[in-house]
Amino acid sequence: MSVEHDPLVEARKQLKQSIEILGLGDEIYQVLAVPDRVLQVKIPLKMDDGSVKVFIGWRSQHNGALGPYKGGVRYHPDVTMNEVIALSMWMTWKNSLAGLPYGGGKGGIRVDPHRLSKSELERLSRAYFEAISDIVGVDQDIPAPDVYTDPQVMTWYFDQFSRVKRGQYFGVVTGKPLEVGGLYTRIIATGYGTAIAAREVAKKLFGSVEGRTVAVQGYGNAGYYAAKFLHEMGAIIVAVSDSRGGIYNSKGLNPDEVKAIKNKTGTVLNYPAEKKITNEELLELDVDILVPAAIENVITEENADRIKAKAVVEAANGPTTPEAEEILTKAGIVVVPDILANAGGVIMSHIEWVNNRMGGWITEEEAQRRLEYKMVTNFNKVWDYWESKLDKEKYNMRAAAYAIAVDRVVAAMRLRGWI
Ligand code: NAD
């Protein structure tokens, strides 16, 4: 891995900027640049054909000043230890910004899960969780789904942990199926949260989201629910896409009808729209709000000066490169950063965890209402900080979000006597 593509280098750069904005010393940077703990585990897996393959996994716990570590586990053939560490640092900031009582954690196994049978995947998942069981726990570290891990994997984790520790530890992971302590609202949470972030930025820029045009790149969990709820809020969803391409209707699309077509035929392209467009064209549409909800690094130095949206609301993680963001900031385009715009998932995970600890008490309506309240509060906290404390010409909304997040962690470390 080259240094330029090391996400840990990027994460440390962002930390350094926040330290400068907050006027903190290098000492604090040194404390936060390195995770509290990284556990590497070896998982020898007996395959269905009787052979044995060895997989490597990690759990990184970046900072626990605010509470138990929290963050997902990804299964991917390219996962590296530095990537897991960087992601755990980003989780520290996301959880801190969201006002949750959590530190940041992240896990990963270097594996292509699509090449495993279901029983191999189950054995791998159970072995990984058992191997990290000494450092995870309801009050220690609470994993969740991430790339290529899902509610079934979370159930294997929870069950294995409960077997090893001889109890019923529902709160040791979040993102579980409904039958074992999950919440339906976890499924809609990220997209719903993104829709609220888009609604709030629209209020600031245009007075209301009603009648405003929106393009959504990516029509999976985050993209579909963002489109659905923005449509319900009165926005006009003029374009959506998936990995095969996009569709455009000047008068607006019905997100549920598009989803039904995608479910039936595998792509949004079969929806009878005014015209088909490419993913590149979607990003450059003349809309009020652009929601990248697919993959990272889609708005780059190369296309940033052709982006016409007034606001970019990041449902995906890292869709805008730092170079592109500079160009957008200069052009007066507001980027609502991922750690704010897609925090709905982890906010709902917190509600699930609280609910598990209370023995299953909250209603879905109450859970959704709490998510909305948190998203609105957090959005305004960042917007107000950006307006009142930073030079808006020099710093973007992401810098404001990071500064708030780092500040809260540093305050907790001071109070606890760590620094
Ligand atoms: P998903 O797999 O459900 O959906 C991804 C969608 O993106 C699919 O429609 C796919 O066709 C499309 N896509 C893939 N490659 C594409 C490309 N090159 N161009 C255009 N579209 C492409 O995934 P998701 O859970 O919706 O996650 C999407 C993004 O949101 C990711 O960056 C993820 O990290 C982020 N995110 C998701 C959650 C969550 O709770 N789901 C939480 C936080 C962040």
Question: 244 CA to middle of ligand 1, Å?
Answer: 13
Question: 93 CA to middle of ligand 1, Å?
Answer: 21
Judge if 163 and 204 occupy the same domain: no
Q: Is there a domain that residue 403 lies in?
A: no
Q: Name the domain boundary from 170, 200, 218.
A: 170
Atom from ligand 1 closest to the CA of residue 318:
32
Question: 86 CA to middle of ligand 1, Å?
Answer: 19
242 lines ligand 1 (CB under 6 A): yes
Express each pLDDT in 110-154 by its tens digit. Answer: 999 999 999 999 999 999 999 999 999 999 999 999 988 999 999
Atom from ligand 1 closest to the CA of residue 338:
44
Predicted local confidence at residue 3, as pLDDT: 45
Q: Is there a domain that residue 184 lies in?
A: no
355 lines ligand 1 (CB under 6 A): no
Judge if 208 and 158 occupy the same domain: no
- How many structural domains is the chain composed of? 2
Question: 124 CA to middle of ligand 1, Å?
Answer: 24
Predicted local confidence at residue 296, as pLDDT: 87
Nearest Cα residue to atom 14 of ligand 1? 243
349 lines ligand 1 (CB under 6 A): no
Nearest Cα residue to atom 16 of ligand 1? 243
pTM here?
A: 0.94
220 lines ligand 1 (CB under 6 A): yes
Judge if 160 and 57 occupy the same domain: yes
346 lines ligand 1 (CB under 6 A): no
61 lines ligand 1 (CB under 6 A): no
Atom from ligand 1 closest to the CA of residue 189:
40
Query: Which of 83, 295, 299, when mutated, tests ligand 1's pocket best, judged by the most ligand atoms within 8 Å of its CB?
Result: 295
Q: Is there a domain that residue 120 lies in?
A: yes
Count CA within 13 A, CB hemisphere, residue 329: 19
Predicted local confidence at residue 325, as pLDDT: 94
Judge if 193 and 331 occupy the same domain: yes
Judge if 160 and 209 occupy the same domain: no
Q: Is there a domain that residue 360 lies in?
A: no
Judge if 159 and 241 occupy the same domain: no
Judge if 88 and 219 occupy the same domain: no
**Enclosing domain of residue 216:** 189-336
CA–CA distance from 197 to each of 30, 341, 374, 379 (Å)? 33, 6, 10, 7
Task: Assess contact for 247 and 277: CB atoms under 8 A.
Answer: yes
Judge if 272 and 195 occupy the same domain: yes
- In this structure, what token pair is assigned to residue 203? 């209020």
Q: Name the domain boundary from 285, 319, 336.
A: 336
Helix, coil or strand: residue 74:
strand
- In this structure, what token pair is assigned to residue 277? 């467009």
217 lines ligand 1 (CB under 6 A): yes
Nearest Cα residue to atom 17 of ligand 1? 243
Amino acid at 312: V
CA dihedral angle for residue 279, residue 112, residue 68, residue 379, rounded to 10 degrees: 0
pLDDT by 10-residue block (mean), the chain, 419 residues: 70 94 96 98 98 98 98 96 96 98 98 97 98 98 94 97 97 96 92 98 98 97 97 98 97 98 97 97 98 94 98 95 93 97 97 95 93 98 96 91 98 97
279 lines ligand 1 (CB under 6 A): yes
Judge if 201 and 136 occupy the same domain: no
Question: 88 CA to middle of ligand 1, Å?
Answer: 19
CATH code for the domain in which residue 110 is found: 3.40.50.10860
Q: Among 19, 50, 125, which Cα is nearest to 409's?
A: 19
Express each pLDDT in 373-415 by its tens digit. Answer: 999 999 999 999 999 999 888 899 999 999 999 999 999 999 9
Nearest Cα residue to atom 19 of ligand 1? 243
CATH code for the domain in which residue 261 is found: 3.40.50.720
Query: Which of 190, 276, 339, when mutated, tests ligand 1's pocket best, judged by the most ligand atoms within 8 Å of its CB?
Result: 190
Predicted local confidence at residue 4, as pLDDT: 52
Q: Is there a domain that residue 19 lies in?
A: no
Q: Is there a domain that residue 134 lies in?
A: yes
Q: How many helices (H) and strands (E) does the chain have?
A: 14, 12
Judge if 193 and 329 occupy the same domain: yes
Predicted local confidence at residue 2, as pLDDT: 43
Judge if 161 and 101 occupy the same domain: yes
277 lines ligand 1 (CB under 6 A): no
Nearest Cα residue to atom 39 of ligand 1? 190
**C-alpha span between 62 and 80 (Å, rounded):** 15
Q: Is there a domain that residue 330 lies in?
A: yes
Q: Is there a domain that residue 271 lies in?
A: yes
**Phi/psi of residue 365, nearest 5 degrees:** -60, -45
151 lines ligand 1 (CB under 6 A): no
Q: Name the domain boundary from 312, 336, 360.
A: 336
Judge if 300 and 238 occupy the same domain: yes
Q: Which residues are catalytic?
A: 106
Count CA within 13 A, CB hemisphere, residue 18: 26
Task: Assess contact for 106 and 88: CB atoms under 8 A.
Answer: yes
